[in-house]
Structures are given as structure tokens and as C-alpha cells.
């Protein structure tokens, strides 16, 4: 409920009744974002992802992230051809139909890492619907979370970019929080999801220490909005934010902006790359979160007596 006029005198500041959040990050966590060069050959994309994940793991990463649609080119014409079902999400599937799942699971267990596997086009064989879905695997190779892109990338800027994901994809219906028991909770969004502050706010209010967005911004919006949106989600919530893009390719139909980055809870870009293939690494620390939240204590100054506590809004079942 919004009142039309609010005067400072009528609504004096007072600390919210909401208790301080429990501490979000349990110990330092090395994050690696793989800005992967991808092409049209799915098998080659999976093999190459494996090489880069191995490289990141050999440098001590605890959590490794791949970009949006890392197994395929990014484009609505490609999604049906590259789509795979996901075991456990839509029942059992023969291994030959799930090469991306198999590869990611094996990489996570071989390297003993948490692997946020960017996203792939997912086929639900029961409904024939397609989704843009991120899978997260534990160091034992178990699938511990899936996030179906909630906000589909439907935009049209005359003369610049026209992209309508909803022509072929269906939207996810659930915000996603993944529990990494040694470290804490991470929220997941996919690309266009970053434009909607609600997912990050929900995750932060439920205690996440980071939001991770596999994404593939474009050459029109990327230069203006990619960093701005990531830093916005970080400063709003005083959490780490990671944006992981594919590398830019001159041959691709969709030209990715690149510039994968890690943003700290003070909204500073602490690690970033250009448009070429590379790995962006940063150690996320509990101390940085504490320092920022102590200095600017918005996490305990929220006025849920004025605007409803969004942390009580639960996920919707699909
Ligand atoms: N893959 C996407 O969702 C792209 C989002 C994007 O480029 C934007 O401007 O938003």
C-alpha cells in the first residue's frame, strides 16, 4: 500500500523491527567466472568448458561459473536443436540425451568444486516446453539446484536489437537459492533477470551472500547497463554480485558484450575482464560484507512497517 504524500515529519526514521540477518558467508570463497568462447558445435563447447573449468579449479576455485547458453549459440532458432532434458527435474532420461548434465556433473565431482553451469536450453519432454535453465552441482557431482530464467529477454529497440525469447521459451516460476553448506546461500538469476531487483532482494533477505547471473548482454545495452545493473543489485543488498558472459565472437549471430565481473558488497567492481575469453577470479570474504554493512547499516534499517517485508513472499510452485 503506497500513501500519496509522505513527509519526513510524519514518518520519522526508526530502526525496523526486523531482526538483523544471520551472517551470510561462513568463510572465504574463491569464485571463478569463465568467460567462455563458444561456437556451433555442442560437443566442442562441452569439451572446451571442461578445459576451462579444470584450469579454474587448478587455481583453487571453490565455485566456478559458466555463461548463459554455454553449450549452444545464443538465438531462438538454436534453442530447440540444442535443448536437453534434465535428469531429476523431469524424471529419468537416457544418458545419451543429457550430455550437458553429464559433463557438468563429472566436472564438479572430478574437481571437487561447486559448479554453476551457466545455462542451457532445457526441454521438458512431458510438455515439450523449452526453458533457459541453469544447473548447479555440488563437489560430489549431485545436481543441487536448477533455475529456469524467470524474466524472458523480450526487447525491441528499433534499429538496434530485437530479441523475443518468449517466441520459443517458457518462463520459470521460481526464485532460486542454492545452499553451499560450507559457505552459505547463493541466489541465481539468468541475464535479463538482473533487471528485476526483486530476485536479488528476496535472495539477500533470505540470507544469500551473493547473486550469480550467467548472462549474455548485447552490444546495445551491454555498454550502458551490464555493470550498472550488477552494481545496483550489489549496493541495494550489500552482497557480492557475479556476472558471467560468453566471450565475444565475430562469427556469432548474437554479439555478446563480455566484461564478466565480480562486484563487492560496496558495489565496487573488484575483478573484470574485456570481451575476450578469460577467467575472472575473486575471493569473497565475510569480512568485506561485515565492514560494508557496519558502515552503512541499511540491512537493519529497513522500514518494513512502511513497505511490506518482501522476505516473507515465498516462491511460487511451478
Ligand atoms: N540474454 C539476455 O537475457 C540478454 C539481456 C540483455 O541483453 C539486456 O539488455 O537485458
- 260-283 residue pLDDT tens: 999 999 999 999 999 999 999 999
Q: Of 169, 176, 109, 191, which Cα lies nearest the Cα of 146? A: 176
Residues touching ligand 1 (Cβ under 6 Å) are 68, 153, 191-192, 195, 215-218, 221, 225
pLDDT over 50 (residue 1): no
To which H or E segment does residue 202 belong? Answer: helix 197-205
Which ligand 1 atom is the nearest neighbour of the CA of 151? 3
Ligand 1: distance of its center to the CA of 163 in Å? 9
Write the pLDDT tens digit of every residue in 158-207. 999 999 999 999 999 999 999 999 999 999 999 999 999 999 999 999 99
Test site for ligand 1: of 72, 172, 213, 215, most ligand atoms within 8 A of the Cβ: 215
Could you tell me if 134 and 214 are in contact, meaning their C-beta atoms sit under 8 angstroms apart?
A: yes
ipTM over 0.90: yes
What's the pTM?
Answer: 0.92
* Section 67-75 average pLDDT: 97
* The C-alpha cell that represents 253 in the structure block: 549471430
Q: Closest residue (by CA) to atom 9 of ligand 1?
A: 221
Cβ within 8 Å of residue 58, ≥6 positions away? none
Q: Residue 215 burial by CB count (10 A; 0-12/13-18/19+): exposed, middle or buried?
A: buried
- Is the distance from CB of 82 to CB of 72 less than 8 angstroms? yes
| 117 burial via Cβ count (<10 Å: 0-12, 13-18, 19+) | buried
Please tell me what DSSP assigns to residue 189: -
Beta-strand relationship, 143-148 and 161-164: unpaired
φ/ψ (deg, to 5) at 310: -70, -15
- Predicted confidence (pLDDT) at residue 19 exceeds the cutoff of 70: no
List residues with catalytic annotation.
Answer: 68, 149, 191
The CA-based diameter of the chain, rounded to the nearest angstrom, is 66
Amino acid at each position: 500500500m503506497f500513501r500519496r504524500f509522505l513527509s519526513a515529519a510524519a514518518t520519522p526514521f526508526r530502526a525496523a523491527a526486523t531482526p538483523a540477518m544471520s551472517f551470510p558467508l561462513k568463510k572465504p570463497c574463491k569464485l571463478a567466472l569463465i568467460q567462455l568462447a563458444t561456437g556451433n558445435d555442442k560437443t566442442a563447447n562441452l569439451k572446451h568448458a571442461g578445459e576451462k573449468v579444470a584450469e579454474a579449479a587448478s587455481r583453487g576455485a571453490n565455485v566456478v561459473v559458466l555463461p548463459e547458453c554455454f553449450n549452444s549459440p545464443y538465438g531462438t532458432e538454436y534453442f530447440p536443436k540444442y535443448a536437453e532434458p534434465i535428469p531429476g527435474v523431469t524424471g529419468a532420461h537416457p544418458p545419451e540425451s543429457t550430455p550437458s548434465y553429464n559433463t557438468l556433473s563429472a566436472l564438479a565431482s572430478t574437481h571437487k568444486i561447486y559448479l554453476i553451469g551457466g545455462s542451457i536450453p532445457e526441454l521438458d519432454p512431458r510438455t515439450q516446453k523449452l526453458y533457459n535453465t541453469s544447473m548447479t552441482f555440488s563437489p560430489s557431482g549431485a545436481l543441487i539446484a536448477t533455475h529456469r530464467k524467470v524474466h524472458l529477454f523480450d526487447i525491441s529497440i528499433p534499429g538496434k536489437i530485437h530479441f523475443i525469447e518468449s517466441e520459443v521459451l517458457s518462463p520459470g516460476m521460481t526464485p532460486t537459492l542454492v545452499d553451499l553448506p560450507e559457505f552459505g546461500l547463493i541466489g541465481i538469476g539468468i541475464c535479463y533477470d538482473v533487471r528485476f531487483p526483486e530476485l536479488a532482494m528476496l535472495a539477500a533477505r533470505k540470507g544469500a551472500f551473493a547473486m550469480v547471473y550467467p548472462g549474455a548482454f548485447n552490444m546495445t545495452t551491454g555498454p550502458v547497463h551490464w555493470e550498472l545493473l550488477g552494481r545496483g543489485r550489489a549496493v541495494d543488498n550489500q552482497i557480492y554480485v557475479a556476472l558471467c558472459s560468453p566471450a565475444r565472437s565475430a562469427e556469432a549471430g548474437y554479439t555478446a558484450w563480455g566484461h564478466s565481473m565480480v562486484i563487492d558488497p560496496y558495489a565496487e567492481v573488484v575483478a573484470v575482464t574485456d570481451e575476450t575469453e578469460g577467467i575472472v577470479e575473486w575471493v569473497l570474504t565475510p569480512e568485506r560484507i561485515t565492514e560494508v554493512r557496519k558502515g552503512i547499516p541499511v540491512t537493519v534499517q529497513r522500514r518494513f512497517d512502511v513497505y511490506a517485508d518482501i522476505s516473507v513472499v515465498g516462491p511460487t510452485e511451478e
